[in-house]
Amino acid sequence: MSTRGVRFAPGGRLRGQFTPPADKSISHRAAILGAMASEPVRIANFLAAADTASTLDAIDILGALVERRDHELVVRGTGLREAREPDAPIDVGNSGTLMRLLAGWLAGQGGGRWTLDGDASIRRRPVDRIAEPLRQMGAEIEARDGRYPPFTVHGASLKGISYEMPVASAQLKSCLLLAGLAADGNTEVVEPAPSRDHTERLLRAAGVTVERDGPQLSVTNCDELVLDRVEVPGDISSAAFMIVAALLVAGSRLEVHGVGVNWTRCGLLRVIERMGGIVLGEVESPEQAAPDREPLSDLDVAAAPLVATEVGPDEVPLLIDELPLVALLGCFADGDTVVRGAGELRVKESDRIAGVVDGLRGLGARIEAHEDGFVVSGTGGLRGGLLDCAGDHRLAMLGAVAGLASREGVEVLDMDAAAVSYPGFVEDLAALAQSGPHLGEAGGKRA
């Protein structure tokens, strides 16, 4: 693994227009549903990144054909129940989404056997949360030490169940919905709080009956998926780093184009609004939500003074990937910013609560960790220093934004980790910051 150090220093406001890379969550799901479909699926604006490359490799191993044509990806799937059974484990790389969604699909392939494995961070991420309900449906799951990858899915004739999820998790929900497509009867999933709903929207677009009654979702088994074309919007989670940089660096003004504004992904924008930040644009509300398509919008962002806020358990699933940025905003806000109910961050690519708290504290922040969150006491800014992201792509990009807004700059170790979701991040940030000399290699490589 490269440990390239890159230094991000203050000195230039952010100005200009910006189109974020394609949405990672939707790209994963579109490719997987394409592999499950009976007819070719065209995917426009598919994300080119390490995580989504793992998805394309995986569906290729499972028998789908993938080709690039006229700026689109075309996936020719195997159908719902005809996935190829490989001789070797399927490598999901760094992608928990890929791992959990594949498990749901493959669990319903009666008589098949598939082993899923990944990198070192994946091997630390428990799978018992998906294994328990899949076993209730009739699948057999064998995991290392009973709960960790690599794990093996023995496909079976599944039966629908009613399952109350212990936490709001889009990956768990999606796993069970995909398994439900091949199950006898209805599969019902009850969410304790809303989570991102890209899987449900894509399934409806593919002709599947997915019904919602309050916190309960239900899906009925089907014979085929038919999904003609998917257009992937810009990723709000990737755009969030540029948005926060523009909020924190004085004199900044940024236009964000073509970003997805699905209400289940826009929790950060609502938090920013409470904190006094300026982000203007049309954002989907729950009442306006389209059942089978993704909304797009343009956003206008400007720097502004911030006040502290609180984020509770019901809001956490709507900005789970942006919580590190909430901590950074809290460093510059007046008062104490509190995040609770975010224990899921402990089992992301890294222990993100520990990574955020240790990383920002090393840059001069007053921040304390709790089991399920953190408290940041705003001091009006950050000193700067060294941040080792330990291979976590979101912590790498967090350090970069912190550097532009800090007094002394930040050197981020292992900046190459950003390629998991955003390969062009450093170049895009440099262009917007209008400060090429302030971004560059720092001190060579670290062991």
**CATH code of the domain covering residue 401:** 3.65.10.10
Predicted pLDDT of residue 260: 98
How many structural domains does the chain have? Answer: 2
Looking from the CA of 345 toward its CB, the CA atoms found within 13 Å total 30
Predicted pLDDT of residue 346: 80
Percent of the chain residues past pLDDT 70, beyond the cut: 96
Among candidate residues 187, 203, 231, the one where a domain is terminated: 231
Query: Does residue 44 share a domain with residue 143?
Result: yes
Dihedral class, residue 356 (left if φ above 0, else alpha if ψ from -120 to 50, else beta):
alpha
Is the pLDDT assigned to residue 434 strictly greater than 80?
no
Task: State the chain's mean pLDDT as an integer.
Answer: 94
Closest of 27, 63, 350, 316 to residue 192, by C-alpha: 316
Is the pLDDT assigned to residue 445 strictly greater than 80?
no
Who's near 162: CB < 8 A, 6+ residues apart?
187, 188, 190
Is the pLDDT assigned to residue 447 strictly greater than 50?
no
Helix spans in 159-301 (H): 170-180, 198-205, 236-248, 267-275
Predicted pLDDT of residue 442: 53
Range 60-65 contact pairs with CB under 8 angstroms and sequence separation of 24 or more? 61/86, 61/90, 62/35, 62/86, 62/90, 62/102, 63/35, 64/34, 64/35
Predicted pLDDT of residue 71: 86
Query: Does residue 254 share a domain with residue 221?
Result: no
Query: Does residue 122 share a domain with residue 103?
Result: yes
Query: Does residue 227 share a domain with residue 237?
Result: no
Of residues 219 and 434, more confidently modeled: 219
Separation CA 217–CA 194 (nearest Å)? 11
Q: Residue 70, Cβ neighbours under 10 Å: how many? A: 7
Parallel, antiparallel or unpaired: strands 310-311 and 336-339:
parallel
Separation CA 129–CA 404 (nearest Å)? 39
Query: Does residue 331 share a domain with residue 350?
Result: yes
Distance (Å) of CA 145 to CA 36, 128, 141, 151, 158 = 30, 10, 12, 10, 25
* Residue pLDDT, tens place only, 277-330: 999 999 999 999 999 999 999 999 999 999 999 999 999 999 999 999 999 999
Predicted pLDDT of residue 440: 55
Q: What is the mean pLDDT of residues 260-264?
A: 98
Q: What is the mean pLDDT of residues 100-128?
A: 95
Is the pLDDT assigned to residue 348 strictly greater than 60?
yes
Who's near 340: CB < 8 A, 6+ residues apart?
310, 311, 312, 313, 316, 370, 372, 373
Separation CA 303–CA 297 (nearest Å)? 20
Is the pLDDT assigned to residue 1 strictly greater than 60?
no
Among candidate residues 204, 231, 258, the one where a domain is terminated: 231
Query: Does residue 252 share a domain with residue 200?
Result: no
* Residue 70: pLDDT band with limits 50, 70, 90: confident
Is the pLDDT assigned to residue 441 strictly greater than 60?
no
Query: Does residue 373 share a domain with residue 349?
Result: yes
Separation CA 409–CA 430 (nearest Å)? 14
Query: Does residue 40 share a domain with residue 156?
Result: yes
Predicted pLDDT of residue 439: 57
Contact indicator for 377, 349 with CB cutoff of 8 Å: no
Q: What is the mean pLDDT of residues 352-379?
A: 96
Among candidate residues 231, 246, 267, the one where a domain is terminated: 231
Separation CA 20–CA 233 (nearest Å)? 9
Distance (Å) of CA 239 to CA 13, 172, 410, 425 = 17, 25, 20, 10
Prior bond to 150 cis, omega within 30? yes
Contact indicator for 174, 202 with CB cutoff of 8 Å: no
Predicted pLDDT of residue 345: 84
Query: Does residue 196 share a domain with residue 122?
Result: yes
Query: Does residue 323 share a domain with residue 202?
Result: no
Query: Does residue 140 share a domain with residue 108?
Result: yes
Percent of the chain residues past pLDDT 90, beyond the cut: 91
Is the pLDDT assigned to residue 444 strictly greater than 70?
no
By the 10 Å C-beta count (0-12 exposed, 13-18 middle, 19+ buried), 1 is classed as: exposed
User: Hey, CA dihedral for 263, 129, 81, 63, is it positive or negative?
Assistant: positive
Q: What is the mean pLDDT of residues 351-370?
A: 96
**Residues acting as catalytic residues:** 321
Q: Residue 39, Cβ neighbours under 10 Å: how many? A: 14
Is the pLDDT assigned to residue 443 strictly greater than 60?
no
Of residues 436 and 344, more confidently modeled: 344
* Residue numbers of the domain that contains 286: 4-22+233-445
Predicted pLDDT of residue 12: 81
Predicted pLDDT of residue 313: 94
Is the pLDDT assigned to residue 446 strictly greater than 60?
no
Residue 288 in tokens: 């306006």
Query: Does residue 288 share a domain with residue 206?
Result: no
